[in-house]
Structure 1
Amino acid sequence: MAPTRRVAIIQWHIKELAIEENHATACEYIRQAAAQGAELAVLPEYHLSGWVPTDPRWAEQAGQSATYLSSYQALAKELKICLVPGTIIEKHAGPDESSLFYNTAYFISNDGSILGNYRKKNIWHPERPHLTSSGLESHAAIDTPIGRIGMLICWDLAFPEAFRELIADGAEIVIIPTFWTPHDASAEALRHNPASEALFLSSTLTTRCYENTCGIIFVNASGPAEDFLGMSQVTLPIVGPVAKMGNEEGVLVADMDLDLLDIAEKNYKVREDIKKEGWHYVYRHSTSQ
C-alpha cells in the first residue's frame, strides 16, 4: 500500500438533459485535475443528463452511454489518469420489448482500460419505478493502480452490509458517486432539522471510515443551496475529512495518507475480526446464502 494517493473530487451544477455540455464540463475538470497531479478523478452520479427520468429524452440519452464511456477511456489514456466518471445510465433490452435502465459506475485505469464496474444495488425509493437494481450480485473489490477499490452509489451509503462485503474482499478505498439533495428529506424531517441531509452525510461518511478502517471518496452534485448539497469529500479514519467542498463548482485535489488505514486497523482490528472463522456476522449479499 502506497503511503499517499493524490485524488481529485469534481462537482458542478449538472444541467438537465444537456449531455454534451455536461460531458464537456467533466472533461475540462478532469484535465484540471490531471494538471494538478491527480492519479484519480471522480465525478458525480447522473453527471451526463441529471435526474429527469420522466422526460423521454432521458431514456434516449441513456442509449448513448457507450459513446461517452469510450470518450472517458480515451481521455484517461491521454492524461494517464484513472477515472470514475460518476455514474452512467445504461439502457438494456428487457422482457416483452421493454427497456431496463441500470445506474452504473466504471473504474477506468490510467491506460484507458476498464478494470471493473458496479451497478447500483440499493435503489432510492423515488428511483425504483425507473431503475433496475443489481439485486443479488455480490459487492466485489477490484485491483487498480491506486490500490484495491470498492465502488458504491449514493443510497448504498446507508447500508453497512455493502461496506462490510467490500472490506471482506479487501477494499481499501470506497468510491461513492452521488446525487444527494436537501429534498431527499421529507417535509416532516425538515421541520425538525432543515440541515437533516447534510447531517446524514457528514456523520455517516466518517462513521463508515471508522467502522471499516477504509478511506472514502464521496462526490456529489452542486448548485443552488436550496436544491443541492455539494459536500464532496475525501474522508479517512482517525482524522475524518481531509478535503471537503461546500456547494461551489470545481475541482479539489487532495492527498490521501493511506498509512491511516493501517493505523486504524491496528487499533480497531476490524478486518482481522472479519477474517476469523468465528466471526459472528456471516450474512453476505450472495446468491449462496
Structure 2
Amino acid sequence: MAPVYRVAVIQMWPKPMAMERNFNVAADFVRAAAKQGAELAVLPEYHLLNWYPHDPGFKDACAHWKTYLDKYLALANECSINIVPGTLVELHDAGTKDERLLNVAYFITDRGEIAGKYVKKNLWGDIERLHLTSSSDDPHPVFDTPLGKVGMLICWDLAFPEAFREMISQGAKIIIIPTFWTLTDCSKAGLAINPVSEGLFLDSMLTARAFENTCAIVFANAGGPPGKGYAGLSQVCVPYAGALTRLGSAAEGMAVVDLDMQIVEDAEENYQVRSDLARSDWHYEYRHNKSDTKL
C-alpha cells in the first residue's frame, strides 16, 4: 500500500510590510500543525510582506530573506515537520547592474535541511514582470523529500499544464503550490459575468491538473478580510475525490488532512498518464498489433 501523509494547508492574511509579525503568525500555525501530527505544512506566496513592491521599504525588506529562511530551518527542526514556507522574495546583487528580485519557494525537511528550491517562472503580467526576475527557461526541478518525489510551482504557474507534465515525467507525485491569487485578478469584463470567476478558475484547474497528471496537489493561498478580494480556497486535491479539504474564500485558518497516496496510484492504474508519458512513441503514435490485443 502507498503511504498516507498528514498535510496542513495554512491560509494566512499577510499584513502589508509586517515581516516579523507575519512570521510569528506563520510559526504559530506550523507549531499547531505539528501538534496535530502533520508531516508537511505549506504557507502562501508573499506571506511575509504581502505584495507591496511600490512601498519604499519593500526592496530593503527583501534583503533580509536569509534571516527568515534560517528561522524556518530552525522551526522545521524544532517541530520535526516538513515546511514549504510559501515564498520568500529575495534581493540579490543589490545596487549593481545585476540586481534582481526572485520569488522563491523552498522545501525544508523535518530535519531542518533544504531539499530543494524553485524560482517562480510564469510571472503575472506587469504587476510582477516590472519587479521580479523569473527562472526563465531553467528546467522545472523535482526533489527527493521525506514525502517522496515532490515538485513545486508558484501561483500563476498553475495555469500552465506544461509545467506539470515536465515534473510528472520526472516522477513527481505531489505538486505543492504556494499562491497569492485574488478575486480581483479577473478583468472587469470577467467580473461582470461572474464576480467570483477566479474561484471557479482555481477549483477547475486544481481538479483538472490532479486528474490529468494522476497527482496530488497541495495548494495554499492567501486569505483575508471579506470584501478585500482574497480568493482563499486553499486545498489538498487528488484524482477521483477532488478536494479532500478546502478552506473558505476569505478566512484565515488552517486545514489538516490525511493524504492517502494510494488514490494517486489507483488513478494512474486507471488512466495510465505516466505510462503514456514514458512511451517512446508518445506524441501520439499508437499502432495496433494483434498479438498485443487484450479483450
Amino acid at match of 2:241: V
Deviation at 1:95, TM superposition (A): 8.8
Deviation at 1:279, TM superposition (A): 1.2
Q: Which runs of 4+ in 1 moved over 3 A?
A: 94-98
Question: What CA distance in whole angstroms lies between the structure 1 residues aligned with 2:68 and 2:241?
Answer: 36
Deviation at 1:94, TM superposition (A): 6.9
Is 1:274 matched up with 2:257? no
- Name the CA shift for 1:66/1:95 in 2 (closer, same or farther; >3 Å): closer
TM-score after normalising by structure 1: 0.95
Amino acid at match of 1:235: C
**CA-based RMSD:** 1.2
* Aligned 8 A contact 1:32 1:251 in 2: no
Give the % identical residues: 52
In the other structure, the counterpart of 1:243 is 245
SS of residue matched to 1:223: coil
Amino acid at match of 1:34: A
SS of residue matched to 1:97: coil
Question: What CA distance in whole angstroms lies between the structure 1 residues aligned with 2:92 and 2:78?
Answer: 30
Amino acid at match of 2:110: N
In the other structure, the counterpart of 1:6 is 6
* Aligned 8 A contact 1:8 1:252 in 2: yes
Correspondence 1:226-241 to 2 at 5 A: 226=227, 227-241=229-243
In the other structure, the counterpart of 2:202 is 201
Is 1:185 matched up with 2:186? yes
Is 1:34 matched up with 2:34? yes
SS of residue matched to 2:57: helix
Amino acid at match of 2:232: G
In the other structure, the counterpart of 2:111 is 111
Is 1:217 matched up with 2:218? yes
- Would you say how many aligned residue pairs link Structure 1 and Structure 2? 281
Deviation at 1:165, TM superposition (A): 0.2
Q: Provide Cα deviations, 1:64-116, integer angstroms capped at 9, x if missing partner.
A: 00000000000100111000000000011179535200000000000000010
Is 1:19 matched up with 2:22? no
In the other structure, the counterpart of 1:284 is none
Runs of 5+ consecutive residues of structure 2 not aligned to the other structure = 285-295
In the other structure, the counterpart of 2:292 is none
Deviation at 1:147, TM superposition (A): 1.3
Amino acid at match of 1:167: I
1:260 to 263, 273, 278: 263
- Name the CA shift for 1:135/1:94 in 2 (closer, same or farther; >3 Å): farther
SS of residue matched to 2:158: helix
Question: What CA distance in whole angstroms lies between the structure 1 residues aligned with 2:135 and 2:96?
Answer: 20
Question: What CA distance in whole angstroms lies between the structure 2 residues aligned with 1:61 and 1:11?
Answer: 22
SS of residue matched to 2:90: strand
In the other structure, the counterpart of 1:161 is 162
Correspondence 1:62-211 to 2 at 5 A: 62-93=62-93, 96-97=96-97, 99-125=99-125, 126-211=127-212
* Aligned 8 A contact 2:17 2:50 in 1: yes
Higher alpha-carbon deviation: 71-80 or 243-252: 243-252
Question: What CA distance in whole angstroms lies between the structure 2 residues aligned with 1:250 and 1:36?
Answer: 14
TM-score after normalising by structure 2: 0.93
Amino acid at match of 1:62: C
* Aligned 8 A contact 2:225 2:251 in 1: no
SS of residue matched to 2:222: coil
Amino acid at match of 2:169: A
* Aligned 8 A contact 2:90 2:102 in 1: yes
Deviation at 1:194, TM superposition (A): 0.7
Deviation at 1:123, TM superposition (A): 0.4
Question: What CA distance in whole angstroms lies between the structure 1 residues aligned with 2:174 and 2:101?
Answer: 27
